[in-house]
Structure 1
């Protein structure tokens, strides 16, 4: 049920609209949600240089106001048709040139907005084919794109039968979640039985259920081994141009927590024929023609195998690492692609950039403080950020997958080794104080309850 909100004397059924009168002559980009300031502010900062930005959000913007020229407050940004109606009102006042969303849970809804306005990336069925990993597998199988074998299942019994067909070790994966939520390796039927509920019950950050057209929410997949990478690419008129290759650092087995990434501006994979062919064939098979994608591959001895494709900019600050490594601005490139403008894709320089995420050692740790001793940080460290705030209760994976991160550091260097050494120094300079949370861990020893130094690391 929509609400009525009044904003500066203007009453609008279902939405609060601001800022339309101050739009300039530059292209107007409609951005759906922003995400955490820590991880996404750099994108708005860049886009503002060439575009006016109208933001769709569920609350009145705060930090975003510095970068936007207008906003609409909606009850939810997960209802595509409702957002499309709101977008038509914005478009009637000032024509919208493009729609951009980098939030995995909202890219499908955002595609309805682009469709309603006749803009690029306005194909909800295509975006849903990416969001639903089961549909991704079906489309790529039909096109002959190399990928792990995959069987969708509903029950534990179906999962056990599927794993018998595929063989152990196997991977359990939710059909529609990102950030490796619910992903786990199982080595035999006993482990599968133990972990199936973990995968089947995995949830994203939003309470709204994903609109699956299937009652088979779990995928049982073949385990493929090798180096895992990600490719952030811009797509224009169906032509895929890779910009950044991220080399993943994965920890906390048998789970798949991404604990860091390295981006080399001169990575040979950017010109590797087999990877380029796999990347293009994947997008062609999925029907994705315009926008930005974040694809993940496993580099096996038989060549690259597609793990998944996300119709958005990469998370974990990977696009930011890309700009540090190459000088290519991901925010501007994505905004231009959304508006049908040729993006700049030529590197200005080549270096290595890396990020490492830090975690506490024990479940249910109540944070008192997180800080880096800045006098011990080498010049190669570009940025250190404390993510966990005082009072937060955090856990390492699997309980604290993604949201268990308490801090991160970003560094640059002439090589992965030099960059890694700088991140090691940042890890050594990290001070964390906290205690086991009494409410979460009532049986914890008294020594664990008192505020004290907490061990943290990047795995």
Structure 2
């Protein structure tokens, strides 16, 4: 397979992609990017499924800026690099450095770092009067205990620079704090140089949402709302729904725009997370890239807006097309077992069939593999699979997600001693 390019993109340089992500959740980004520009890739392993979309590639440790710069230099010797893009959270700061090196559009490394580090984001929002959760950065169990008492239980403990719920845990009583702090600290060990310590945060009660934003030349447009369903004390995302024309966008869009403006974001696709509290929407964090869990794909299915293509256009200094072409809804169910163990069964029942509204059903773990939920495991070990459905509106998507999930045969044999 070779990506089809518009005539006006040929022989006009290449777009550098840093990290390609997981095939199941990121291949749509690479596929869309390849229709907008010839691509070259720097990844941490030799590409496989990515090859049909690429003109060239290099292998390097994205966390080692010197090694990454040498890999980019080798590509620059062979191609004219016109822009840099990434949808890999851990590559955001390296991408900012590389964009500066190449004198192409991109964030400053200071802005990318502030987006990655939740403690830095909070400090900026407090100074700018943007509503967010009360948060205190700590470096020890003693200071975490003091912070929890000051904020008031229940609180949330999390690493300063992790995403996807990794290392996040709710604490309702002080005697739960030692185990929670140890859990968050273990996850913080590889949070990257942008992270620093652990955060003790106010628990915001209310539904969680994401506001999907496109910032081009310093102007932010909020294009969609993602409504997220969470489960358990580790706040695992178990589903997301996007509906075109969500009336909530008018209320939360300006808050997301203010949060990005305060951080200095001038050219990015961003997934801005917040909670809808009784005191109004309050910010949780900014992810200065396309939202995970196929959120960008859901937005395309529901509205026709292609965030991956928009990311390419922004990286190349072009104005993105944010015109909605659909008025529908789409949702994803992230399938988790009730507890950790060995997968015995993971398959659909025949009566599910292949309805046109079932956009995909993907198994991430197979029989015989282990599913490890937090605190034993994390996002990469806990999920059995995912399914995506479409519908006329959010209510129909809810119904179809429940219907499809009810027709899956899933069995996990508990193994209390694993992990």
In the alignment, the residues of structure 2 paired with residue 202 and residue 209 of structure 1 have an alpha-carbon distance, to the nearest angstrom, of 7
Q: Is 2:193 the partner of 1:211?
A: yes
CA contact (8 A) 2:332 2:386 kept: yes
In the alignment, the residues of structure 1 paired with residue 59 and residue 345 of structure 2 have an alpha-carbon distance, to the nearest angstrom, of 34
Look up the match of 2:349: 373
In the alignment, the residues of structure 2 paired with residue 280 and residue 229 of structure 1 have an alpha-carbon distance, to the nearest angstrom, of 15
Cα distance 1:209–1:183, how it changes in 2: closer, same or farther (>3 A)? closer
How far does residue 389 in structure 1 lie from its aligned partner after superposition?
3.0
Cα distance 1:381–1:97, how it changes in 2: closer, same or farther (>3 A)? same
Deviates more, 1:121-130 or 1:254-263: 121-130
In the alignment, the residues of structure 1 paired with residue 411 and residue 176 of structure 2 have an alpha-carbon distance, to the nearest angstrom, of 35
Look up the match of 1:20: none
SS in structure 2 at match of 1:268: coil
Query: 1:332-354: CA deviations, max 9, x gaps?
Result: 11111111111110100111111
Look up the match of 2:208: 228
Query: Quick one: which of 350, 359, 362 aligns to 1:382?
Result: 359
Cα distance 1:394–1:173, how it changes in 2: closer, same or farther (>3 A)? same
How far does residue 439 in structure 1 lie from its aligned partner after superposition?
7.2
Any stretches of 5+ residues in structure 1 without a counterpart? 1-22, 442-459
In the alignment, the residues of structure 2 paired with residue 430 and residue 397 of structure 1 have an alpha-carbon distance, to the nearest angstrom, of 23
CA contact (8 A) 1:130 1:311 kept: yes
Cα distance 1:123–1:420, how it changes in 2: closer, same or farther (>3 A)? same
In the alignment, the residues of structure 1 paired with residue 406 and residue 337 of structure 2 have an alpha-carbon distance, to the nearest angstrom, of 14
Cα distance 1:150–1:178, how it changes in 2: closer, same or farther (>3 A)? same
User: What TM-score, normalized by structure 2, do the two folds share?
Assistant: 0.92
Query: Quick one: which of 156, 168, 171 aligns to 2:156?
Result: 171
How far does residue 142 in structure 1 lie from its aligned partner after superposition?
1.4
- Report matched runs for 1:326-405 at 5 Å: 326-363=303-340, 365-373=341-349, 375-377=351-353, 378-403=355-380, 404-405=382-383
CA contact (8 A) 2:159 2:191 kept: no
Look up the match of 1:56: 42
Quick check: which has more Rg, 1 or 2? 1
In the alignment, the residues of structure 2 paired with residue 84 and residue 357 of structure 1 have an alpha-carbon distance, to the nearest angstrom, of 36
- Report matched runs for 1:122-161 at 5 Å: 122-161=107-146
How far does residue 193 in structure 1 lie from its aligned partner after superposition?
3.1
CA contact (8 A) 1:244 1:319 kept: no
CA contact (8 A) 1:88 1:116 kept: no
CA contact (8 A) 1:84 1:112 kept: no
Any stretches of 5+ residues in structure 2 without a counterpart? 1-8
In the alignment, the residues of structure 1 paired with residue 24 and residue 244 of structure 2 have an alpha-carbon distance, to the nearest angstrom, of 23
User: What TM-score, normalized by structure 1, do the two folds share?
Assistant: 0.84
In the alignment, the residues of structure 2 paired with residue 295 and residue 123 of structure 1 have an alpha-carbon distance, to the nearest angstrom, of 19
How far does residue 267 in structure 1 lie from its aligned partner after superposition?
0.7
Look up the match of 2:282: 305
Look up the match of 1:15: none
How far does residue 434 in structure 1 lie from its aligned partner after superposition?
5.1
Look up the match of 1:114: 99
Cα distance 1:194–1:90, how it changes in 2: closer, same or farther (>3 A)? closer
CA contact (8 A) 1:368 1:391 kept: yes
CA contact (8 A) 1:238 1:283 kept: no
SS in structure 2 at match of 1:146: coil
How far does residue 262 in structure 1 lie from its aligned partner after superposition?
0.4
- Report matched runs for 1:20-99 at 5 Å: 24-74=10-60, 76-99=61-84
Q: Is 2:243 the partner of 1:258?
A: no
Q: Is 2:222 the partner of 1:242?
A: yes
Give aligned pairs, total.
Answer: 409
Query: Quick one: which of 190, 194, 202 aligns to 2:187?
Result: 202
